[in-house]
Amino acid sequence: MAVDERVLEELALSLDEYRLIVERLGREPNEVELGMFGALWSEHCGYKNSKPLLRLLPNSGPRILTRMGGENAGAVDIGDGFCIVMKVESHNHPSAIEPYQGAATGVGGIVRDIFAMGARPIAILDSLRFGPLSDRRNRYLFGGVVGGIGGYGNCLGIPTVAGEVSFADAYSANPLVNAMCVGVARIDDLMPGCAKGPGNLVMLVGSDTGRDGIGGANVLASRVFDESSAELRPTVQVGNPFLEKLLMEACLEIAEKHPDWVVGIQDLGAAGLTSSSVEAAERGGAGIDIDIACVPRRERGMVPFEVMLSESQERMLIFVKTEHEEDIRRLFQHWEIRCDIIGKVTDDGYTHVRDGDQEVVTVPVTVFTNPPEYRRDGKEPTYLKRLQSYDLASLPDLTDPAIDGLVEAGVGTTRASAALLRLVSSPEIADKRWVWRQYDHQVLTNTVVGPGSDAAVMRVKGTKKGIALTNDGNGLYCYLDPYAGGAIAVAEAARNVVCAGAEPIALTDCLNFGNPEKLEVYYQMEQAILGMAAACEKLATPVISGNVSLYNETNGDAVLPTPVIGMLGLLEDVDQRCPMAFQTAGDDVLLLGAELETPVATLAGSEYLRQVHVLVAGRPRIDLDFEVRVQHACLEAIRDGLLHSAHDCSHGGLAVALAECCIEGGLGLDGSGLRLSGRLDAALFGEGQSRIVVSCPPERRNEVEALARRFDVPLTYLGQAGGERLVIGDAVSVPIADLARGYREGLPRAIQGR
């Protein structure tokens, strides 16, 4: 078996996998076939290390209209004949090489997944992770990625309505760029991504094919980075959002007005023409015959290998009924988009690729689409027990003078107040409007609640309904306890949409991990997925779509294990949404879900621990049964009209959550009557789960208390909204103006290197 192992390495195939290909084909593959196997058997397309684990996630329910992985994105029935279509994907490695185009084409790719199904994209969300902004390279990556997301999304006329940004050393050379798109469609307009019907035509529409992006699925997405990674810049795609806008409108016209002209629509994403044609044929139980001599090209001398694996952007395959060829041609000509017939659907179950008269690929579709799967015995990381058993109680509390050198309280400022100011000014917690002001979040006029809240809220035109959208993840929690971290990611995302007044109904996920061939990394991924599955079951939020991004490593060091959850919530009446900020002076402010005294264990993985003690340690925990009760109590209180605001306690704990409610509402809090006992740092900055800060009119507090008792959920009175200071017992007293200044200026200062 004469094969150059260096070639296999470039294609991200092992020697054993090559032998399996030879066994299944009964011969050795040629160069083009081998390149296609490398792409389709890559982790990005074939999910060979993750598919056995992904089957553990619940993926069905009465509202679910699609099979996970069976279409370009997942679809959920929201009633009145409408559905929501959504998906999240990563563009981590391209963004590390070329941040603007990497992020821009990540947006373009995920948007195509949505309109390929006949759904009009109405929202983009992003989840971003970078190294500390004190490093110039990280600042460059951050600025480029944000610019790419805004540049592409704004040109498409799709609002970017929510997201998250996080910073940690582990992301320094390998930023995470996860883009999510949400669309709305009438259920009857949904389009499949399949090729079927022998003789039906395969039409390539959109951009001409070039050499950009060749090998993106396997060269970029299935390898770790090192000093030579800059040489991979040519594998990063280049986007044209103006062409994509035309392509989107043309495809939506087909879905909405002429669905009987076609049998399916498929976007060209990772692995380009290879994955789009082969996967569509598999879904339709068909074969496919393509003549690449008919593929329009923008570069001379392209060989079949390059044409089949190019990841040039803004391209779609339309599977056209033969009798409607001219109808489809006229439609795309109207939109000034090139369209070319490049092949036909067959009934022999084979992938045939020809270059004129020469056949260059003859492989059964199912051989391409069934890569080997690897189920490994994960190994618990050696660091885990040491960090989980760290004695957090040994750290000096905020009442201890020994902490003075850490919090640097000024004259007349308590240590707790100084710690709070430091946290709200840190890039991790500080206001992210520097980011989202670069995005158009009001275009299309669906946005009711935009960026900066627990969840975005969008109206569904033609109905009274609204949807709440958020994405969440915490790599530190997963680093310290992958199972709990996975469960918390799902629970927090659901809690965020609940705070907006929506019922969580489904999610999409993007799982970002290191090299799965390392057993410690595999352990992290397996445990995180098990934790996610447990939370999804408890919260009745099936996983309808998603993406796995592995090999996120640089020089052998992996990123933090980071599952990102995109959560969808449904409001039957969008006017019943709930804001996060305090609304009315004199309202009672309550903590739903916890007593005020908080165990020291809640400092595990907290931002306070990282900022003040420069420490990542402890063991995050969550009680999922309790989480369900807290969310149900909050949602019922909102639906009954009892609450004026609701805000999730997460990063920074209770004190930061209260500060955010005050800053956004322009109202202080008089909590001077609180008596804080136990550890002060844990009470103020512990990140215990299942807690929500709510406010209500004083005359309705008894009803809120009765509802909390019915759900067996603690409810603690914190004080009254109003005034110009945030006061928490005798520990914190800070002018809202000072908090707001630090909160607003923290990220811009960091970007400027200050």
Query: Could you give the CA distance from residue 654 to residue 603 in angstroms, rounded to a whole number?
Result: 12
For residue 91, indicate whether it is catalytic: yes
Joined together, the tokens standing for residue 503 give 């019922």
Query: Could you give the CA distance from residue 745 to residue 100 in angstroms, rounded to a whole number?
Result: 24
Q: Give exposure, 2-15, as e/b (b: 16+ Cβ within 10 Å).
A: ebeeeebeebbbee
Q: If we measure between CA atoms, which residue out of 433, 407, 439 comes closest to residue 421?
A: 407
For residue 34, give every residue at least 6 positions away whose Cβ sits within 8 Å of its Cβ, in sequence order, or none: 7, 11, 13, 18, 21
Among the listed residues 91, 352, 644, 647, the single catalytic one is 91
The angle subtended at Cα 499 by Cα 498 and Cα 503, nearest 5°, is 15
Strand order, beta sheet including 543-549: 447-449, 456-459, 466-472, 562-571, 503-512, 543-549
Residue 699 backbone class (left: φ over 0; alpha: ψ -120 to 50; beta: rest) = alpha
Query: Could you give the CA distance from residue 708 to residue 23 in angstroms, rounded to a whole number?
Result: 63
Q: If we measure between CA atoms, which residue out of 398, 402, 401 comes closest to residue 415?
A: 398
Among the listed residues 44, 93, 441, 651, the single catalytic one is 44
Query: Could you give the CA distance from residue 365 to residue 349 in angstroms, rounded to a whole number?
Result: 6
| 168 neighbors 560 (Cβ within 8 angstroms) | yes
Joined together, the tokens standing for residue 178 give 């996860």
Q: What is the DSSP string of 309-358?
A: H---SSEEEEEE-GGGHHHHHHHHHHTT--EEEEEEEESS-EEEEEETTE
What's at 225, amino acid-wise?
A: F
Alpha helices (runs of H) in 65-186, residue ranges in sequence order: 92-97, 99-115, 136-156
Joined together, the tokens standing for residue 209 give 């094919």
What's at 736, amino acid-wise?
A: I
Residues designated as active site: 44, 91
